[in-house]
Amino acid sequence: MASDKQPILIIYTGGTIGMREDPKTKTLSPMKFELIQDEIPELHKLGFEIESVTFNPPIDSANMTPAIWIQLAKTIKTYYSQYDGFVVLHGTDTMAYTASALSYMLENLDKPVIMTGSQLPIGVLRTDGKENIITAIQIAAAKKDGKAIVPEVCIYFSSHLFRGNRTTKEDSQQFSAFTSHHYPSLAIAGVDIKYNYEKINYPRSKGILSINTSVDDNVIVLKIFPGLNQKYFDAILSIPGLKGIILESYGSGNMPTFPWVFEAIRKATLVGIIFMNVSQCPGGKVKMGYYETSRELQEAGVVSGKDITVEAAVTKLMFLLGQNLPFAEVKAYLVQNLSGEIEN
């Protein structure tokens, strides 16, 4: 790059922010990033050297897969030395999954990776996309004493910057689509962008960025509900190749006390299936042993997810299973804080 301006790379994966309505069918489909840039002339006024990479074809985030997480991690690795920060444009539906996955895959990260998108397409008059992109770029470029202010994988949306693996999509109708129930915002953008420095993860020692893209997607999420029957439960546990189950339990980690539930979990654990207990309450935390039902789960070999989000739990389990670690080590790492995803 010949310019002396601060270099920022935008990686356009797809999503609502880059959608355009078909005049005949009235359905939305992705458009080329060059057309998005035409809708935001303000980008030229930011004073940065902004360049872009576009996934071909752009992806509706409902079609997101671990293979695309890997592609995104490799893209960041390829351009890492050339840019001061990265802005990833992504659909909102699975943005928290991708942000969580990247937080595990990108090791020794010391530059911002800011994910954003919009609830309304960029070409719509009332779009929230312009502000989201502009501020995400400013955050990706922000430095203090020559170092990045937010060297993390984050989600910026509707004036709030959240740690990516602490974030979940909460609303499909409001511009404030995302929230972080158990961890405060890393920054709030008003007249000024105010950073919550004490809550930002800073690398202890600057290393060379490496990516670990080994994942195993033999994982499912099982939501507990009244009426859960044994045939349904046993059928899931007998899925060929299944290695991990995220149990979305009640409240602080509770399950039905039917004897067959605990017996089925014990048997599955003995053959190497890992269970992680996550609360289905948006603001809930799992406290294994707090009630008798969760104590029995603990005795059956279920691991506590503590205050982790479902998105961070799914991607963490896939990531750890992909490392080909012994069963006991995977369980041990699940309860450890790898990249700020759970309480210490």
Please list the active-site residues: 16
- β partners of residue 245: 220, 275
- β partners of residue 195: 187
Confirm if 162 and 170 have CB atoms less than 8 A apart. Answer: no
Give the whole-angstrom CA distance, residue 251 versus residue 248: 9
Give the whole-angstrom CA distance, residue 16 versus residue 23: 16
Q: Collect all residues with Cβ–Cβ distance below 8 Å to 298 and sequence separation of at least 6.
A: 288, 289, 304
Peptide bond into 57 cis (omega under 30): yes
154-158 contact pairs (CB < 8 A, 24+): 154/99, 154/112, 154/113, 154/114, 154/115, 154/186, 155/95, 155/96, 155/99, 155/114, 155/115, 155/116, 156/114, 156/115, 156/116, 156/132, 156/189, 157/92, 157/116, 157/117, 157/132, 158/128, 158/132
Helix axes 66-79, 95-105, angle to 10 degrees: 50
How far are the Cα atoms of 48, 142, 158, 176 from residue 6, in angstroms, in the given order?
5, 10, 25, 29
Give the whole-angstrom CA distance, residue 239 versus residue 225: 20
Tokens of 220: 């499912």
User: Beta 193-195 vs 210-211: how paired, if at all?
Assistant: unpaired
